[in-house]
Amino acid sequence: MRRAPSSGAAFVALLLFLFGRVRCSPEYSLGRSSSPATDGLCALLIRPSGYPCSEHTVETKDGYLLAIQRIPHGRNTLKGKPGPPVFLQHGLFQGGDTWFMNSFEESLGFILADSGFDVWVGNVRGTRWSHGHTTLSVYDKAFWDWSWQELAQYDLLAMISYVYSVTNYKVSYIGHSQGTIMALAAFTMPDMVEMIESAALLCPISYLDHITSSFVLRAVFMRLDEMLLSMGIHQLNFRSDTGVQIIDSVCDGHVDCNNLLSSITGENCCFNMSRMAYYLEFEPHPSSTKNLHHLFQMIRKGTFAKYDYGFWGNLLRYRSLRPPAFDLADVPDSLPLWMGYGGKDALADAADVQHTLEELKSKPELLYIDNYGHIDFILSVKAKDDVYGDLLRFLKSRGCSSSY
């Protein structure tokens, strides 16, 4: 007989049932097929807030069709020449909506547009806002055969190249969590970095040696990633029944999931829990089990390297027994970097941030906030004063002036 779900998993299931508008249809849980003109991020979240917004589709080298949104100026700005381009890249199990979830006075995407920037919003493969693949169905195993390595090498390169070609300006990059893993890997590639004006990394991750998340550490200990792959589960969708059962299996009797968010990300000082129902209308987004497996490889091995296929698989793909590392020393010291991180972050631990800093040739500008957790940097009701003021100062001081 199946045991009753733990209180944490039951709480998540209840929230998703009551507030998340869970749909098992392909349009949400497995990728979008409806028109972005009526059901895209612009139509559902950005334009209703009073901002101009257009939808764009970009094809990656390996055939994925990604959605990008453009907010060329703020609510009260007369239509004219757009300001300097800024590209926003979300984290794991998130989409471009994450930059617009609070009020226009509190959300970074809106703040940047109102500050005179030409805001572009990225959405990686598999998320609600992106548009599938040129040949693969979302029901195909091959559709989910990717990790953050492909997100850096294909998705990010395609999206930044598109913004660069449309605007004819170098792009200022802002990423959070997985968006920083993608960036740090991509910035080791000359073709990418020549299109980047500057980069701001919120909760930067390249190493995960000192992760303290009780939920994640339990999942790593269980070898959850390997079990899911062996069971043929290649899509991770926590809006589905299977996703809730996965959460249940990690929480049950081992992790206190009464506050599931804190169990995963660490304590967040300024996250507005009263808006949880609204957040769950848009998140979490799907990702791939292979992506989770790659992240767990980083935790187990203490490396910032390409996906490990095992000895024979590595020989076939990389011509070496071990997957090649991404060398942070290859990130040019001429690229201006800014990093914001917190003392309560259980995923981007301060010790791992220091490890990253030691391997970079440059000296990034740093903002450390002792009581901030992983989610505070994008959803804190105080982030405008605590974080975004310093971030805007950095952008403008590095040639990204809103008076283009």
Catalytic (active site) residue 376: no
Instruction: Give me the pLDDT at residue 50, please.
Output: 95
270 contacts: CB under 8 Å, gap ≥ 6: 372, 376, 380, 381, 382, 383, 386
Question: pLDDT tens, 188-240?
Answer: 999 999 999 999 999 999 999 999 999 999 999 999 999 999 999 999 998 88
Catalytic (active site) residue 249: no
Share of the chain above pLDDT 70, in %: 90
CA atoms within 13 A on the CB side of 352: 25
**Residues 133, 176, 285, 374: which is the catalytic one?**
374
Instruction: Give me the pLDDT at residue 37, please.
Output: 67
Instruction: Give me the pLDDT at residue 277, please.
Output: 87
Instruction: Give me the pLDDT at residue 243, please.
Output: 87
**Residues 6, 130, 177, 214: which is the catalytic one?**
177
Show the low-confidence residues of the chain (pLDDT under 70). 1-35, 37, 399-404
Catalytic (active site) residue 374: yes
Angstrom CA distances, 338 to 195, 199, 371, 403, stand at 17, 6, 19, 21
**Residues 97, 225, 248, 345: which is the catalytic one?**
345
As a whole number of angstroms, the distance between CA 229 and CA 239 comes to 19
Dihedral sign from CA coordinates of 176, 13, 272, 38: positive
Instruction: Give me the pLDDT at residue 11, please.
Output: 38
Question: CB-based burial of residue 4 (10 Å sphere; 0-12 exposed, 13-18 middle, 19+ buried)?
Answer: exposed
SS3 letters for 346-400?
CCCCHHHHHHHHHHCCCCCEEEEECCCCCCHHHHECCHHHHHHHHHHHHHHHCCC
31 contacts: CB under 8 Å, gap ≥ 6: 126, 128, 130, 131, 132, 138, 286
Instruction: Give me the pLDDT at residue 400, please.
Output: 57
DSSP H or E segment with residue 118:
strand 118-122
Q: Structure pTM?
A: 0.90
Question: pLDDT tens, 59-102?
Answer: 999 999 999 999 999 998 777 788 999 999 999 999 999 999 99
Q: What's the residue count for the chain?
A: 404
As a whole number of angstroms, the distance between CA 88 and CA 68 comes to 10
As a whole number of angstroms, the distance between CA 27 and CA 33 comes to 6
